[in-house]
Structure 1
Amino acid sequence: MAPEEEGLTQPASEEVRLRQEEYDLRLELNRLQRQLLEDTASDALEARLEEIAVLQARLNEIEPQLAKLAAASAASTARKVNKARSRVTVKPGMEYIPTGIYHLLDQEELPLVLCEVDEKETGREKPVLRIRAYIEGYSDQAVELVELGLRASEVRLSPTLQPKMLHNLTELTPATLHVVIDDVENGKLLEHLTYRVWLLARNSAQTAVKDLTSGKVKDLSRFLGAYVTPNTPSIMRFLRQVAEHHPRKRLAGYQPDEPVEDQVQAVFQALKEESKITYVNSLVDFNPQEGTKSQRIRLPRESLEEGQANCIDGTVLFASLLEAISLSPAIVLVPKHAFVGWETGKNSGRWNYLETTQIGSHDFADAVDFATRLANVYEKQRDTTGDDAWFRRWPLRELRAEYQIWPME
């Protein structure tokens, strides 16, 4: 039987061409990014960054085109809901569920299930529907009662995940999302719909997600702040070793006559000499399709235990130590990379940066110089294009106070 007869459709030739170009660009960007981190010679840095910027700009052009083509394709094959029975249109909000930060997501902004009750009831009696949503074996039930009336309404559901079921979730895991709709008065089942979803491991970082209800990509990069864990026992114990590398053997935060850079350098030296952190060459991919499937983050305690870290591991580890000594760190994200920043004075608004992948191989001044040049190039690109994806700086103080993003442990 031909694919069309089985209900399958082949991607249009333009979509195939763009996906091939996207694939080739990602391969080349990965190659250049690895070279960038392996060869930090100053005479080649700016030229390589410019080359990366050109390729990334083209990738940024392609992604919206692909999203538009994919949305059109999905619309043509979308599953239809029997509204004659339930009067409800059900739309799953996410295919890939970031279990580590799911509890932090705003249900109004990004629900797991969106139900549109768009059939009007003109009779004297107004039926009441019960809508339930749950992930089989992994969540409680989220329940809403809806009285059908003269106005259309929306119901957003995000069932609570069960922590004990997620504790051993170490791989991308398929699961089944159930949406059940029944009539409260007579108990009649109107709909029982199921959808395949994927549960990301608890330490999988999802910095962007496609909202299936709108087709838009939502930036979730701020939730990396949950992986900055300054109060864990392993971080608190390691601070004793950090203090030993400080000229005055103490960590005072932002205090008069207490140079901030001495404290940051003490963190650097302790990680270099005591934990012997080594760089693991695994690049961060912030693309919502690829990143949700593959990117992992070691929690700070895991990086200390294992003695290895990639760029994002090292960034959240270093930020955890800075926050633990009452400094103001920031997670800095540029295309396919991350590094740490810190405010030079309390509420100063001035920032310095450090490349954590160089902890094991370079001295403090080199790591600061390299990250500063990265920041300058990408921040300029952001200002030129108006696209925040080139340079995002998330101060932990802002993430805690404004977004209420707290450490996950």
Structure 2
Amino acid sequence: MRMTQRLFTLLIGLLICGTTYAARPRLAVVGFTNTHRDERLAKGHERLRDNLEAALLQCGRFEIVERSRLEALLSEKNLAREGLIADPLGAIAGLQGAELDYLVMGSLEGDSEATKAIAKFVRVSPPGTGTVTHVFEAVGVTVPYVGYLAYELAQRAQEAFPLVGKAFRVKGDEVIIDIGANDGVRGDQEFVVLHVEGTPGDPYRETTDVAKLRVIDMQDRGCRTEVVETLRKDIPLVAGLLVVSSRPARQDGRGAVHRRLAVSAPRTVAPASPEADGPWFASALATELTNRQSALDAQVLEREHLEALYEEFRLSELPVFNWEQAAKAGNLFSANMLVTSTLSKPKDGYEVNVRVDDLEHGRVLQGVRRNGKDLTELASQVAQALTELLRPPALRAVGDRGLAAAVQFNYDVVPSGQYAYLPRAADLVTVRLENKGAQAMRLRVATEVAGYCTRPLVREIRLDPGSTNEIGFTPPLDREKIASLGDNVKTTVQCRIDSLTGEESKLLEDSHEITLLPPSTWLARMRLRNLSEPLDDYATIVAWVEQSDPLTGVRARAAQLCEIGGLLGYQPNFLKLGEAATEGSLRQQWREYIQKQVKAVYKALQEHRIKYADQPVITFPADAGQRVMRPAEVLAHPGANCLDGSVLFAAALFPTLRPILIITGSHAFVGWQTWSHPTAPWDVLETTQLGTGDFDTALEQGRKAAERAGILDLLEGRDPAGKLEFSDTGLPTVAAPNGAVLIDVRLARQFYESYRNPDWEDTSNLIRGILAPSK
């Protein structure tokens, strides 16, 4: 087996000189020019410089000249940093003789869609003084975070400067090599043993791969390795043969990975658990995830490191971790994925709700909900579920140019009514690509839902040698075809990968059968194919809380009926407080003021003579799906079950007021905040009374429903375990005791709207799922 042409070219110069090149190159990262057109990256070149310097230092392959030392050196030589970046070859002569091998500089460019970072290595010390020896590029989507670009540049620099040593002693499958930690070797790094044919100085000497080694023990000046694969049985493995690192060094023995995972301490919610339970659970979960790092393809950050980053970027001052702040911080080795959770302690044990945030792109991978009596066991269950969720698809060789690819279909059942929300959990299709060849590749990936897309979703991708790319695809559906669906249908999700390098050719084609649900079907629990347990997805019910012309008419009629002259929301102008007003009387005035508006909406809906549809009791969450009518449909065909009526009423209150939906084991009702304040209580109403009872009766029945669900004290703010709080940065649901789930409609809509699928041209109806109902 011959070694790759790329590695052979890199070694030719070293072999001619008869050197092993174990010493680490000495680098100074000078800086980058910045022509980026996105204002968020106005100082991106500074963060890129800092990140690249940290990445090159972290990989252990290079010695980095301290910035103060570089500034002193430039001052001594009467050189300006800006002059070096603008004209490195003209100014390089002034640095001859310095304890420096390379200057690293480059550029940052792009627009609101894509960003490119270029790093150039300029040789300072002879031989080759003043020449640009290496140029590396990294390209990605435009986000404030530039650390991932610096990481890619550092990885490619590592590949361009392989570790080279010799086999010092061979005994069976154990090989001692003469380079170690001082030379940049990292734990469990792999090497290739080379047999060189020809005499020293011969530029046409050939090299042959003999065996693959893996480091099992490391010292400062040497390593003990083991043979993991014999490549040539006809060439003996003996002392004196060259060994060359076969891939970039793993960081801290845990793998050179793109995912850097941090576990944040849980936020306690009512009913609150003891104060010490949160840190205990976070520590246990971090330990369990650390034990699963190889399966996760992730590096779990140490708690001390995470806390240092919080302090450095003042993130600890935030009540809830904010991904935007983390992204703007731009630190390469801060987390790019964060595990957050809420912890409560109902009477029968603990309940945890855990999710994973993608900090780079502001996406939320919905996590898991678990119940149990033992926190350690819960941490193990959550870690296993997250491992299943985040595990990358297995790659397989495609074509003959070194491409490895995997197509992962994430769903068996796809609800078209909440289709726009799928990417919050996982895209319809995930494609992972890796270029193991020596040449860059141009690829085209196309996906579609057969028969239900106007056209395939197509992306063209450039894949550099040694690079990996993982892309999600959720192709937009044809609105008219989906609107005509009346029942479940079987169809296929199709994916095709074509090579655009040279003559266009098909490399891979795959498909997966799915069940496509009609737009009237809501799934409260979403099943991903790589998860053993479903994801609780209650908040997606807000896809049905939509505005329409018939509902506008209801609101206009309510404004006419309202005792205070209209639906004015939480405006304080009506209050006649006087000096004697107490806090209690103020709260009561607020409550009555809001109730008058809700009462007007109730009366306006009663005029439509909506009758309660006495359907068979459905146990939530209905794994097979629950049919839910949209508000316009209920008004056109006045008949609704408890969930239909609650959705209708919430849509009529929103956005003037702040409604919530409450779903219990077999029932649903609606509520609203009694005034605009974090500590304000919530009133509730039973919509099944619309056809038969007055407003006061509906209020009383709503209180009884809340009492049966065990949440009345929580809604009233009397629960000793704490007040009702919804997250304004994550999924705005609260899991209460006895299985009730409360959903803040306003925050849920904001949560889903915050991720706009860039592949969809028309996002005007994003919040309404995939279609607008007939008017």
User: Does TM-score exceed 0.5, indicating one fold?
Assistant: yes
The structure with higher relative contact order (CA 8 Å, sep 6+) is 1
SS at match of 1:161: coil
5+ residue gaps, structure 1, are 1-52, 72-78
SS at match of 1:289: coil
Letter in 1 for 2:611: T
Counterpart selection for 1:340 from 666, 670, 675:
670
Task: State the Cα distance separating 1:371 from its structure 2 match.
Answer: 2.4
SS at match of 2:423: coil
Task: Specify whether residues 363 and 279 from structure 1 end up closer, same or farther in structure 2 by C-alpha distance, changes over 3 A only.
Answer: same
Task: State the Cα distance separating 1:148 from its structure 2 match.
Answer: 5.9
How far apart, CA to CA, are the structure 1 residues paired with 2:567 and 2:438? 71
Task: State the Cα distance separating 1:61 from its structure 2 match.
Answer: 7.5
How far apart, CA to CA, are the structure 2 residues paired with 1:359 and 1:226? 23
SS at match of 2:444: strand
Task: State the Cα distance separating 1:120 from its structure 2 match.
Answer: 5.3
Task: Specify whether residues 407 and 316 from structure 1 end up closer, same or farther in structure 2 by C-alpha distance, changes over 3 A only.
Answer: same
C-alpha contact (below 8 Å) 2:621/2:665 kept by paired residues:
no
Letter in 2 for 1:364: F
Counterpart selection for 2:745 from 382, 396, 405:
396
Task: State the Cα distance separating 1:134 from its structure 2 match.
Answer: 0.8
Task: Specify whether residues 281 and 80 from structure 1 end up closer, same or farther in structure 2 by C-alpha distance, changes over 3 A only.
Answer: farther
Provide, for residues 248-291 of structure 1, a one-character-per-residue CA deviation record: whole Å limited to 9, x for no partner: 5633322324711122122223333x111111133455436312
Once the two structures are overlaid, the 10-residue window that deviates more, 314-323 or 221-230, is 221-230
5+ residue gaps, structure 2, are 1-346, 352-369, 373-380, 386-392, 576-591, 722-733, 754-765
Counterpart selection for 1:222 from 524, 528, 539:
539
SS at match of 2:624: helix
Task: Specify whether residues 370 and 131 from structure 1 end up closer, same or farther in structure 2 by C-alpha distance, changes over 3 A only.
Answer: same
Give the structure 2 partner of residue 35 of structure 1: none
Once the two structures are overlaid, the 10-residue window that deviates more, 262-271 or 297-306, is 262-271
How far apart, CA to CA, are the structure 2 residues paired with 1:80 and 1:303? 47
Task: State the Cα distance separating 1:243 from its structure 2 match.
Answer: 4.2
Counterpart selection for 2:497 from 174, 181, 185:
181
Matched, 1:87 2:404: yes
C-alpha contact (below 8 Å) 1:207/1:221 kept by paired residues:
yes
Letter in 1 for 2:747: E
Task: State the Cα distance separating 1:320 from its structure 2 match.
Answer: 1.6
Matched, 1:150 2:466: yes
C-alpha contact (below 8 Å) 2:642/2:687 kept by paired residues:
yes
Q: Normalising by the residue count of structure 2, what TM-score does the alignment of the two structures yield?
A: 0.39
Give the structure 2 partner of residue 132 of structure 1: 446
Letter in 1 for 2:681: R
SS at match of 1:335: coil
Matched, 1:366 2:697: yes
Give the structure 2 partner of residue 279 of structure 1: 612
Task: State the Cα distance separating 1:351 from its structure 2 match.
Answer: 0.7
SS at match of 1:177: strand
SS at match of 1:116: strand
Task: Specify whether residues 369 and 149 from structure 1 end up closer, same or farther in structure 2 by C-alpha distance, changes over 3 A only.
Answer: farther
Give the greater-gyration-radius structure (CA).
Answer: 2
Task: State the Cα distance separating 1:229 from its structure 2 match.
Answer: 2.2
How far apart, CA to CA, are the structure 2 residues paired with 1:194 and 1:80? 16
Task: Specify whether residues 224 and 288 from structure 1 end up closer, same or farther in structure 2 by C-alpha distance, changes over 3 A only.
Answer: same
Letter in 2 for 1:150: G
Matched, 1:206 2:539: no
Counterpart selection for 2:709 from 378, 397, 400:
378
C-alpha contact (below 8 Å) 1:284/1:312 kept by paired residues:
no
SS at match of 2:747: helix
Matched, 1:299 2:660: no
Counterpart selection for 1:164 from 477, 480, 497:
480
Task: State the Cα distance separating 1:364 from its structure 2 match.
Answer: 2.6
How many residue pairs match? The answer is 333
C-alpha contact (below 8 Å) 2:525/2:621 kept by paired residues:
yes
SS at match of 2:569: coil
SS at match of 2:475: coil
Task: State the Cα distance separating 1:398 from its structure 2 match.
Answer: 1.4
Give the structure 2 partner of residue 24 of structure 1: none
Matched, 1:141 2:478: no
How far apart, CA to CA, are the structure 1 residues paired with 2:675 and 2:408? 47
Once the two structures are overlaid, the 10-residue window that deviates more, 218-227 or 281-290, is 281-290
Matched, 1:353 2:701: no
Task: Specify whether residues 105 and 195 from structure 1 end up closer, same or farther in structure 2 by C-alpha distance, changes over 3 A only.
Answer: closer
Task: State the Cα distance separating 1:82 from its structure 2 match.
Answer: 5.8
Q: Which has the higher strand share?
A: 2
How far apart, CA to CA, are the structure 1 residues paired with 2:442 and 2:530? 24
